Chain A
């Protein structure tokens, strides 16, 4: 992992709690870019993060074709911006990470009596290639 300005994933934990939506940029095989917002980037370990795969959208399709993704996350405490360069590794449909992400989604949904509507298809695991404070 290339760490710029000595930024570690553990140091930017508040930015990974999903208070402020994350901007993600992907590109298809023919290099057509796509920029969108996602709700949260989840911390997995010091070298990995996870993104929820709920709907098969353009971001997911692009990542499956071209596994590199850029995410801009915002620290809700100091409003610092961080650019994360990520590489897609795998999709997990069970296990600790998947369960933790799924239970959060279900907790939010059940508080609105919408249990079961927001199904988590998978937890997409990304390796962190670099973190850059913007």
Chain B
């Protein structure tokens, strides 16, 4: 064997040893339990250290497989993370679209040549990411289980940086890289699912707690009230005071109404929490609809001497579910009555344009301070506030209003401040 052959063999051996070292280091990094971007950045560092890939990046396809986004990069003056390139464009986009590796060198000369032969004198390079003046580029698609998981791109301003041998080695490295990235993505998505499930369980737990709180506290009040009234009935009956019994009948009626309202809300709310509400959408003429709602509160309005103005054109109608819409507006109106002092005013009006029907309900009530506004539509820390004449509630009313508005594809906004009344605006698509 000649000396040159021995030298060649020795060089080959050295190269193989170096490659084994890289594979070993990369494998070690791939097995670490760290976040995906951290893992990828470390791999790019190793490739630079061991393989002189001074400018490199890893891109992942978007879920729609239309663009690739840089998730890790190495060696660039400007951070490339987050930059995107469409499938099919440039070396990166084309390697992803075709799932084939590409190794180019002498890029600028070849592009000049293309511009010349296409008779378009001026060059119009599209370089959405990476080096603007790269002369060598290699793009390796990372495919696992027949799925494009990511793409490794390395580039240089030098010519012939990536030999055929380098390219083949990167292709060898691509397989474990792809599998590891896919595993990390699965791990991340499972973590995300666990977070979602935990949040859902917490929400359900809050719902359950609220349910028990209402049963143990809010329902107990009216029942205790009935007990006291029954004892009073018996007492007045024994004394033969029928006029007092007549007075008590009014209170029993009011108590029963409150209890009924509370139970209805409780039932609606628990149905909404378990997705048990089936909406039946129909055309609802709003004028008649609001007249019916207002008639339910005639006595309550009269009792607090509140004037109500209804300004809804008879031609306005809404495509919505009657039951949930009525529940939402019943709660809004009873809420307005509850927090409007004796002698105040409530106004309901509706307008429409090409796209939406807007219903506004405003009152001259006590208003809501900023702190309470934030927690108004959530169960978290929600407690019922007594009305201006100590009216009680469950704290569920406004939660139901929001949920049922959304069930009818509407949105709800409100504007309020202490002593400034409250203005609710519900917008529904036409």
Contact of B102 among A19, A77, A104, A115 (CB under 8 A): A104
Distance in Å from the Cβ of B131 to the closest Cβ of chain A?
12
B418 within 8 A of A: no
Question: Which residues of B106-146 are within 8 A (CB) of A?
Answer: 106-107, 109-111, 113-115, 117-118, 120, 123-127, 135
In contact, A99 and B100 (Cβ under 8 angstroms): yes
Interface membership of chain A positions 28-71, coded 1 if the CB is closer than 8 angstroms to chain B and 0 otherwise: 00000000000110010000000000000000000000000000
B90 CB contacts on chain A under 8 angstroms: 107, 110-111
Residues of A5-41 at the interface with B, using a CB-CB cut-off of 8 Å, are 13-14, 17-21, 39-40
In chain A, positions 102-125 with a C-beta closer than 8 Å to chain B are 103-104, 106-115, 117-118
- What is the bound-complex CA distance between A112 and B124, given in angstroms? 5
List 26 interface pairs A-B (beta carbons < 8 Å), by A numbering.
Answer: A17-B106, A17-B160, A18-B106, A19-B105, A19-B106, A39-B113, A40-B106, A40-B110, A103-B98, A103-B100, A104-B103, A108-B107, A108-B110, A108-B114, A109-B114, A110-B93, A110-B94, A110-B126, A111-B91, A111-B107, A112-B111, A112-B114, A112-B115, A114-B114, A117-B114, A118-B118
- Measured between alpha carbons, how far is A4 from B127 in the docked complex, in Å? 43
CB-based contact A110/B88 at 8 Å: yes
Contact across chains for A112 and B94 when beta carbons are under 8 A apart: no
Assembled-state Cα–Cα distance A21/B110 (Å): 9
Interface size in chain B (residues, C-beta < 8 A)? 34
B residues whose Cβ falls under 8 Å from a Cβ of A: 88-91, 93-95, 98, 100, 102-107, 109-111, 113-115, 117-118, 120, 123-127, 135, 159-160, 163-164
- Bound CA span A111–B89, Å: 6
Q: Which residue of A lies closest to B124 (CB)?
A: A112
Closest B residue to A109 by CB, please name it.
B114
What is the interface residue range for chain A against chain B? 20 to 34
Q: Could you tell me the distance in whole angstroms from the C-beta of B381 to the nearest C-beta in chain A? A: 56
- Partner of B163 from A13, A21, A104, A111 at Cβ < 8 Å: A13
Cβ–Cβ < 8 Å partners of A13 in chain B = 163-164
Q: Is the CB of B160 within 8 A of A43?
A: no
How long is the Cα–Cα vector from A108 to B127 in the complex, in angstroms? 11
With A103-B94, A111-B126 known to touch, is A19 a contact of B159 (CB < 8 Å)?
Answer: yes
A47 and B359 alpha carbons, distance in the complex (Å): 82
Give the docked Cα–Cα distance between A90 and B274 (Å). 71
Min distance, Cβ B129 to any Cβ of chain A, angstroms: 11
Nearest-Cβ distance from residue B88 to partner chain A, whole angstroms? 6
Chain A residues with CB under 8 A of B110: 18, 39-40, 108
Q: What residues of chain B lie closer than 8 Å to A103, measured between beta carbons?
A: 94-95, 98, 100, 102
**Known contacts being A103-B102, A108-B104, A111-B125, is A43 close to B111, with CB within 8 Å?**
no
Q: Which chain A residues lie closer than 8 Å to B94 at the CB level?
A: 103, 106-107, 110
Instruction: Kindly list chain B residues whose C-beta atoms are within 8 Å of the C-beta of A111.
Output: 89-91, 107, 111, 125-127
* Distance of A8 from chain B, by nearest CB (Å): 11
Q: Beyond the given A13-B164, A107-B91, could you list 18 further A-B residue pairs with CB under 8 A, ordered by the A residue number?
A: A17-B106, A17-B159, A39-B113, A99-B100, A104-B102, A107-B94, A107-B104, A108-B107, A108-B110, A110-B126, A111-B91, A111-B111, A112-B111, A112-B124, A112-B125, A113-B124, A113-B126, A114-B114
List residues of chain A with CB within 8 A of the CB of B135. Answer: 19
Closest-CB distance, B135 to chain A (whole angstroms)? 8
Candidates B105, B117, B127; contact of A17 at CB < 8 Å: B105
Cα A107 to Cα B95 with chains together (Å): 8
Q: B98 contacts which chain A residues (CB < 8 A)?
A: 103
| B residues near A99, Cβ cutoff 8 Å | 100
Instruction: Check B104 against A104 for contact (C-beta < 8 Å).
Output: yes
Residues of B within 8 A of A14 (CB): 160, 163
Residues B160 and A77 in contact, CB atoms below 8 Å apart: yes
Given contacts A76-B160, A77-B160, A111-B111, contact A117 B105 (CB under 8 A): no
Q: How far is the CA of A22 from the CA of B93 in the complex (A)?
A: 29
Distance of B361 from chain A, by nearest CB (Å): 56
Shortest CB-to-CB span from B15 to chain A, Å, is 14
B164: chain A residues at CB < 8 Å are 13, 43
Q: Which of A18, A114, A115, A117 contacts B88 (CB 8 A)?
A: A115
**Minimum Cβ distance to chain A for residue B81 (Å):** 21
CA A104 to CA B125, docked complex, whole Å? 16
Q: Which of A21, A76, A109, A110 contacts B159 (CB 8 A)?
A: A76
- In the assembled complex, the Cα of A106 lies from the Cα of B124 at a distance in Å of 15
The answer for the CA separation of A106 and B114 in the assembled complex, in Å, is: 11
What separation, in Å, do the CA atoms of A76 and B102 have in the docked complex?
20
Cα A118 to Cα B100 with chains together (Å)? 19
What is the minimal beta-carbon distance from B272 to any residue of chain A, in angstroms? 52
Interface centre among A108, A111, A118, by most chain B C-beta atoms within 10 angstroms, is: A111
B111:A108 contact, CB within 8 angstroms: yes
Interchain nearest-CB distance for A69 vs B (Å): 20
Taking the closest CB of chain A, its distance from the CB of B240, in whole angstroms, is 101
Which residue among B103, B109, B114, B126 has the maximum number of chain A CB atoms within 10 Å of its CB? B114
CA separation between A111 and B88, bound complex, in Å?
Answer: 9
Leading 3 A-B pairs by shortest Cβ distance? A19-B106, A111-B90, A107-B91
Across the interface, name the chain B residue whose C-beta is closest to A54: B117
Q: Hey, which chain B residues are within 8 Å of A112, CB to CB?
A: 111, 114-115, 123-126
